[in-house]
Amino acid sequence: MAKPFTCIFSFFATLIFLPLLPIYAQSSGKIAVGQSLSAATNASPWLSPSGDFAFGFHQLPTNSNLFLLAIWYAKIPDTIVWYANDGNPVREGSKVTLTADKGLVLSDPQASSLLWSTSDDFSNGNGVSYGFMSDTGNLVLKNSSSNDPVWQSFNHPTDTLLPTQIMEINGVVNSRLSENNFRKGRFQLRLIPNGNLVLNTRDRASGYNYGAYYISGTNERPNTGHRLIYNESGYMYVLRTDGSTYDLLPQNKTNPTKSYYQRATLNFDGVLMWYSIPKTSISNGWSMDQALPDNVCTSIGASGPQLGSGICGFNSICVLGDDKRPTCKCPPGYSLLDSNDTYGSCKPDFKADGCVEYAQRSMKNEYRLERLPSTNWPFSDYEKLGPYNEDDCKMSCLTDCFCAAVAFQDSNSPICWKKKAPLSYGRQDTKVRETTWIKVGNVNFSNDPLNTFVPLFPPKAKNKVKSLDKFLLGGSVFVNLVLLSAISLGIFLIYHKKPLKEFEEGQRKKLREYNSNVHCFSYQELTDATKGFTEELGRGAFGVVYRGMISTVGPPICVAVKKLDRISHDADKEFRTEVNGIGQTHHRNLVRLVGFCKEGDQRLLVYEYMSNGTLANYLFGELRPSWVARIQITLGIARGLLYLHEECSTQIIHCDIKPQNILLDDNHNARIADFGLAKLLVLNQTHTNTAIRGTKGYVAPEWFRNKPVTVKVDVYSFGVLLLEIICCRRSVCMEFIEEEGAILTDWAFDCYQSNTLDSLVNNDMEALNDWQRLKRFFMVSLWCIQEDPSLRPTMKMVMQMLEGLAEVPKPPCPTMLSITTTNTKPLG
């Protein structure tokens, strides 16, 4: 009787516990070779035995289609402590597999491209027998024949250190780029060879380390620091060679690890912070135990003059919050260079013309000084004056074209420091003894570069008119003349009242048809502004561009007047539609339309003037622009096209994207020109004498095949332009030494296939040192120039891939797609 009962019990036990076996195996922490995980919503990760830590694909809160291969606290929402693939997220369907020869291998959804693996960091030549996700948060790969790990995540920290973790000499912790961007940021924690633990900024493009803003002082010989230890009790210190310690997080500030989760994270704003949270009440969130340095705004640069911009960008001011975290703000008269980067640089909202006729402009009160108490940019000084009183100090800056700001310290011997642009390491704090006066434009311009309201008289002129009135009224002869003139004018107006009224009503009706954001000029006004159209800036598909000066409320502003001579003058309705469309666009990467003229057979457009000319001149000149500058220009053009295609009120297809139609402003920001004009071009006056709109070398194939023209024609042109920016050469170069390199698009794909991309950039070490981005940009360009428009990504997808927020799959050959890529999945 007992035997049947035993069998029944075993049967039901099997039914009950069989579903729990995978969970038990998963939570044991051990990972067998051949196991894999896929990036998907609600996918199960590999857990540590206690379930405290998880390894797998963490879905990004800002984009549900992207996943980060990472380690995180499984019980605490969105607390990532380690990440792979240089912080680059991957798309849904990507897979990570534990292999014997390469360890962890990350591949794209098609499994056609290896994105990342641990094999490059193996500490010995042995293969991998198994993996283990430990309760300390350390992911370990081991070989059964050796006690030492083949690879472990603790040896390759990202932005966080955990209890039991050790950092040796030359160890580095890098901050994130931003709260939700896990790529390497500007800040580092390093244990350098002399034994000091330091916090420093770095140049992201080159990786060059700037001076430290925190130094532990553990470099005294012979007992120098040689190891950073974060022990299991939560006590962190630098261990010296004689066994003594230098406390970073003292024992009296630590919480026991048995009762608390702990971590030390180098935040994206440069502050190293220790956090803890009770294991029994994780809903309360993390508490900050200590911050290093105590005040990052004033500590940075404390070791002496520094390169770089500081915690915030150039011309910005760092202010410490109550939470020991910095915030950045632009001074009066300045605004963010990139509105999406609140920790970035600030640009002046006024036109800074340097020293050209500065004395005359200064006499016209073109500039004023804004007071900033307890504020300083200490490493931007170029001249020290003293003893000076405050008024003399301010005047010395106003009369000096090189002076961007001036700091005054009122002491027994008052001192004045004059500062040059760009201003760096700005800070505002009660401990700052100086008061700084920053130079800004004296006219409060609106966002519209041309204020259409022009007062009848400037203030000084009004005073002169009042004096003149008194003088005229004082003489009877002049009074009689004025009265006689008034009577004559009245008779004239009564006689011509009806024609004038009809004329004015007609003009008002015409102007009402146009967007109120743009100004209507008369032809004579633009003739005067351009001095009779004498100073030519360039020629394009639509006509000739001239330089001009237009008077507004403040000083005259420089404009570019485009005299259209290749459009149909009969298309009044189309001209009005396009001008209205252009006038409604507002984006920092588009050249703004200031006004227009439609008088008789004349059609003119007035744009803001771009001082640094075209991208073509900048890109193909004798000196190669820096890689960093080219990156910013690329991203600016992409943002501008994305706006035209998807974000402005009416979709605009440019149809002629090329270097000549990209202009550069004072700060070398890219601005797209000539958008919205394609429909106005007379078809028999295009470059190819066909119905094709565009320029040879940049024209998408569908123009030649009577296929529908969509925004994808701009994507194609952008792909060609991106290759030109990367390589600093024209897309078609028949005098090229090697015949196969004459057509850049063909040569680029050949180099990509043969893995010789370095030959394309012609030993540009700055670009080659940024290899991952360089390769990513190449791959994006190859996707953009696909013959089949459906395979080209949208500009939104292009933007995500360029910024590293989306994976770039391996691109197919751009040509002969009907034969070779019938199964290729379109992007975007």
What six digits make up the tokens of 433?
């003894």
How far apart are alpha carbons 325 and 310 in whole angstroms? 14
Residue 656 is a catalytic residue: yes
Could you tell me which residues are beta bridge partners of residue 370? 438
How far apart are alpha carbons 810 and 203 in whole angstroms? 29
| Secondary element (H or E) of residue 154 | none
3-state per-residue secondary structure call for 382-397: EEEECCCCHHHHHHHH
Q: Rounded to 5 degrees, what are φ and ψ at 575? A: -60, -45
DSSP state of 708: P
How far apart are alpha carbons 285 and 283 in whole angstroms? 5
How far apart are alpha carbons 185 and 272 in whole angstroms? 13
**Helix, strand, coil % (nearest 5) of the chain?**
30, 25, 45
- Single out the residue of 518, 732, 477, 700 nearest to residue 620, CA to CA: 732
- Binding site: what residues are annotated? 563
Angle between helix axes 459-474 and 476-495 (nearest 10 degrees) is 110
What six digits make up the tokens of 268?
């994206």
Catalytic residue among 400, 656, 764, 770: 656
Listing from the earlier edge strand, what are the strands of the sheet with 415-419?
A: 367-372, 435-441, 405-409, 415-419, 381-385
CB count in 10 Å sphere of residue 561: 26
Residues 6+ positions from 552 with CB-CB distance below 8 Å: 450, 451, 454
How far apart are alpha carbons 233 and 165 in whole angstroms? 11
Three-class DSSP category at 177: strand
* Strands annotated E in 305-404: 317-320, 326-329, 334-336, 346-348, 367-372, 375-376, 381-385
Could you tell me which residues are beta bridge partners of residue 69? 57
- Binding site for ATP: what residues are annotated? 563
Q: Which residues are catalytic?
A: 656
